[in-house]
Chains A and B, each alone.
Chain A
Amino acid sequence: MSKHDNQTAPAETRASGWVIFVFFLIGLVLSMLSGWIAFPNLLYSTKEQPIDFSHQVHKEQVGDCDSCHYFRDDGSFSGAPGLDECSGCHSYQMSDDPDEEKFVNEYVGEDKEVPWHIYAEQPHNVFFSHAAHVKGAGMQCSTCHGDIGESDSLREYQENRISGYSRDIWGNSMLRLGEAEHGRRHKMNDCAQCHLEETGSKGECFQCHK
């Protein structure tokens, strides 16, 4: 029988406990750095909106939010206006703004819808009724969407590379702490939380997932 077990190195050739602990710490620190700093930067890609739209200018010209974001006759919500609505005014260029020029030439002229990045876009398996919130509960647009209606320029859009939705849904803070920067966050738990506070119930699955 041999003196040493074949599977275990002799004690003098092994790394000491301290060294092993240091390696543990290195692993810990590196992963935390990459998880907290590199990961969020990698997860989201920053995209510019195709046209830098000024809500402020339009609000002055056409009135409140519901001039463009209106309820249809059947109660459904129109969302972002399409080319048909925009070209009602912008069939030709009305100012010397370069973005308007781009819009008139590249979209109105080409009869092409603007591929807006929607900050509050929800997955298709979510049924959300604007009517219930705005008409039913009398909520303001800004409660959820923030002050976008007052903005002069569209902020950058951060797209989650995996899910394809806006960073606004989860919220800017990875830990989802503090107030959201733009209105409210839009994850399911955010809906449930608000419903619990306002109605006393988180609601049932089928209310949003038909």
Chain B
Amino acid sequence: MKIDRRCFLSLVIGGAVGTTLTPVPWKLTDDIAIWSQNWPWTPVPEDGPSKYENTVCAMCQGGCGITVRKIKQRAVKIEGMSGHPVNKGSVCPMGISSLQYLYGPSRVKSPMKRTGKRGEGKWEKISWDDAIAEVSDKLKELRNQEEPHKVACTADSDRNTVGYLFDRFLAAYGSPNFIRTPSSEDANELALYLAQGRNATVGWDIENADFILSFGVPLMDSPDSAGRMFSAYSALDEKAELVQIEPRLSDTAAQSKRWIPAKPGTEGVLALGLAHVIVKDKLYDSDFVKNYSSGFEDSEDEDGNTRKGFKSLLEDYSPASVAETTGIDKAKIITLARDFAGAGRPLAICGRPIVQGSVDEALAIHALNALVGNINKKGGMVAIPEPDYLGWSEMQRDETASKGRQQPRIDGAGTDRFPNARHLLHRLPEEINSAGDKAPLQVLLVAGGNPLYTIPDTEAAKKAFDRIPFIVSFSPFMDETAEYADLILPNHHFLERYEDIPTPRGYAKPVTGLARPVVDPQHDTMHTGDAVISIAKNMDEFIREAFPWDDYRDFLEQTFSDRWKSLEKEVYSVRKDFTPADWEDAFDTPSKKYEFYPTSRQMPPDSERDRLPACRPLEIPGDGDSKELPLLFVPYVSVRIAEGAIANPPFMTKTVDDTVIKEGEVFVEINPETAKENDLSEGDSAVLKTSSAEARVRVHLFEGIMPGLVAMPAGLGHTAFSDYISGKGENAYSLLEAVSDPASGLNTGWGSRASLSRA
């Protein structure tokens, strides 16, 4: 019997045939499939009973109450907190996704000191003691050189305890440079102060209004207001009308009953045009105007000169001229004005996204509310006083501190040039880059915002940062600014920390929220409040004494004193005794009336105009007729894309349409007409060039955008955070240029001149 190769082949074939007649292949296939779904590194949700804990979301300034579902020690889901006065159970995608930031790889896990070049990403872990000592030593050194004013700090709020601690620290230390991160609040609070004499925030009682005239406010497009608006809008009376004035069909515009596209930047002119019709048709509240306002009619000032009144100012804003400026049909303007004035509880609201906005524009829109007499009324515009709990006693200061504190601010706010402005972060690059050899800013403490991402013209900002010798970031996440810092003192995530949340922008009742820890700190992080107190305790005697508290928790409890317990339990408190002041007592202006002519407004010395809110279209630098940059680039905000300091978490990015971002490339929206003129079609790769930068984009044709505009979402194009977040699209802020409103200094650079050509 011969045995050869073929016998073995036959044996193998027999084996193979036999195996198919056994359960082996089928069972193995099934088991391997299950095995492959259960890799040991695949995250598996905790199993067990759910617990629910309430807190307040601090991903943005919206102040929404949230309920965190926990299994054991793991937070697994975030829901809107039912019964919370602001959001009433709603929550925006950013709030829901904040767990990805709690557990995600963007966290800074311990104090870090830079070892490589700036922005190179080379870090050394250091202890908290060393980190605090490092900052304190640097600050002491500057004070010893009598240069405490060369320290600046950015924070998200000046109305909560952490912002207060930083401001107090700078006051004791001797620097005037506490800079709040920019928002539409800047223009609104300034207008409120000028017209009503109150240091307060603007509240819009949208829930009770029946005609809401929104001048481009991204009510349902921005996390800042979406949580509240989702509930408020669905609860609005069927008859209530929302009118959205915006050059682009945003989600808010799509939800409105009337969408009126106006040329961007002309909203203030439109407001005065509406006021013109209201006054001409005598549709205004004559009781309010006559008895509780001043500066409506022409008058005489102390020197006997004639002072033009608001009514005379309006003569320049006839429907015909406003129609030409804004691009809105004249008849539409007249109808809109009449409908607004004729409504039961009309409310005009303002607050542009992206920029601070113009004070004139805010004054003009506030004046519409004054004309129809809905100031401090149900469904009207309400002045929300500053928090009453931040009333710590004044501190002792040494001479160095007093001298330093009196120096002009680095951002120019409050100086002769911009006398009314309070915070002008966008001017920082200009001031630093134009200074001489000696760097005007030695230390920057970044306790809020992500300036290297959000300051217009990122390149200029980076150049300025290169001239600041010592940058400290307190960010819990490795954002663009933290990446460029010298030292990172990471804060806890908001789900790990206590923090009071002031009344959200635009909310019409004073409400204090309290974020409180629902999970233990996941990393070696420290509450920024504790970091400030620790730094202060390392400083000279006067500064130490200004911070008598053991730690932040002690400070917080003492601050809220008898309200602390209920606040900690309920996570919010609404001031029940609050009712908006009656017109007799509402205004604290020199005339004790609502001032259409804001007498306390200080104009820059070279200004030739008077104080009336004479709105002109908000200009974007450059020649509009130029062949080089014939289009206008306008960034827009979307509730599915976090527009600011914190990047879009991956959960949110997944919700974005593939006509907004696809394969890492961002789409710009242009009108089909613009596409035709520029020889572009849907899906084309193109280069978007503006006066400050250029970006590679793709083209999406959209009927809902006015011709001549190129729109792109703000919030993409991050370069930091983590591999899951960075490298998606382009940063809209880098394509913008800061434009300081000549009258106030606030940033009004809502867009930039641009060209779009096929790549």
A: which residues have CB within 8 A of B?
9, 13-16, 19-21, 23-32, 34-36, 39-40, 43, 72, 74, 76, 78-79, 82, 123-125, 160, 162-165, 170, 174-175
Verify if B144 is at the interface (C-beta below 8 Å from A).
Answer: no
Q: How far, in angstroms, from A34 to B24 measured CA to CA in the complex?
A: 9
Q: Are B11 and A24 in contact (CB under 8 A)?
A: yes
Known: A39-B23, A39-B24. A24 touches B14 (CB 8 A): yes
Q: Are B23 and A31 in contact (CB under 8 A)?
A: no
Which listed residue, B10, B15, B18, B32, touches A162 by the CB 8 Å rule?
B32
Q: Name 14 extra pairs, CB < 8 A, besides A35-B18, A35-B23.
A: A15-B2, A20-B7, A23-B7, A23-B8, A23-B11, A27-B14, A28-B18, A32-B18, A32-B21, A72-B50, A74-B50, A82-B48, A124-B44, A163-B34
Q: How far, in angstroms, from A160 to B32 measured CA to CA in the complex?
A: 11
Contacts of B4 in A (CB 8 A): 9, 13-15
Between-chain CB contacts (< 8 Å), 26 pairs:
A13-B2, A14-B2, A14-B4, A15-B2, A15-B6, A16-B2, A19-B2, A20-B6, A21-B10, A23-B7, A23-B10, A26-B11, A27-B10, A28-B18, A31-B16, A31-B18, A31-B19, A35-B21, A35-B23, A36-B22, A39-B23, A72-B49, A76-B49, A124-B38, A162-B32, A174-B27
Shortest Cβ-Cβ A-B pairs, 4 listed: A35-B22, A27-B14, A31-B18, A27-B15
Known: A160-B31, A163-B34, A164-B38. A23 touches B14 (CB 8 A): yes
Q: How far, in angstroms, from A27 to B10 measured CA to CA in the complex?
A: 8
B166 to A: closest C-beta gap in Å: 42
B41 to A: closest C-beta gap in Å: 13
A171 to B: closest C-beta gap in Å: 11
Interface string of B21-48 (1 = CB under 8 A from A): 1111001101110110110001011011
Contacts of A36 in B (CB 8 A): 22-23
Q: How far, in angstroms, from A82 to B11 measured CA to CA in the complex?
A: 54
Verify if B3 is at the interface (C-beta below 8 Å from A).
Answer: yes
Contacts of A165 in B (CB 8 A): 34
Q: How far, in angstroms, from A82 to B71 measured CA to CA in the complex?
A: 14
B: which residues have CB within 8 A of A?
1-4, 6-8, 10-19, 21-24, 27-28, 30-32, 34-35, 37-38, 42, 44-45, 47-50
Contacts of B1 in A (CB 8 A): 15-16, 19
Known: A16-B2, A27-B11, A30-B15. A162 touches B35 (CB 8 A): yes
A139 to B: closest C-beta gap in Å: 22
Known: A14-B4, A25-B14, A162-B32. A78 touches B23 (CB 8 A): no
A27 to B: closest C-beta gap in Å: 3
Q: Are B45 and A20 in contact (CB under 8 A)?
A: no
Contacts of A9 in B (CB 8 A): 4
Q: Are B7 and A43 in contact (CB under 8 A)?
A: no
Q: Are A15 and B3 in contact (CB under 8 A)?
A: yes
Q: Are A15 and B31 in contact (CB under 8 A)?
A: no
Contacts of A15 in B (CB 8 A): 1-4, 6-7
Q: How far, in angstroms, from A23 to B1 measured CA to CA in the complex?
A: 12
Closest chain B residue to A174, Cβ basis? B23
Q: How far, in angstroms, from A16 to B1 measured CA to CA in the complex?
A: 8
A196 to B: closest C-beta gap in Å: 20
Contacts of A14 in B (CB 8 A): 2, 4, 6
Q: Are A29 and B18 in contact (CB under 8 A)?
A: yes
Q: Are B2 and A163 in contact (CB under 8 A)?
A: no
Contacts of A20 in B (CB 8 A): 6-7, 10
Contacts of B47 in A (CB 8 A): 79
Closest chain A residue to B52, Cβ basis? A74
Contacts of A21 in B (CB 8 A): 10
Contacts of B34 in A (CB 8 A): 123, 162-163, 165
Known: A35-B18, A35-B22. A27 touches B12 (CB 8 A): yes
Q: Are A26 and B14 in contact (CB under 8 A)?
A: yes
Q: How far, in angstroms, from A15 to B9 measured CA to CA in the complex?
A: 12
Q: How far, in angstroms, from A39 to B25 measured CA to CA in the complex?
A: 11
Contacts of A26 in B (CB 8 A): 11, 14
Contacts of B12 in A (CB 8 A): 27
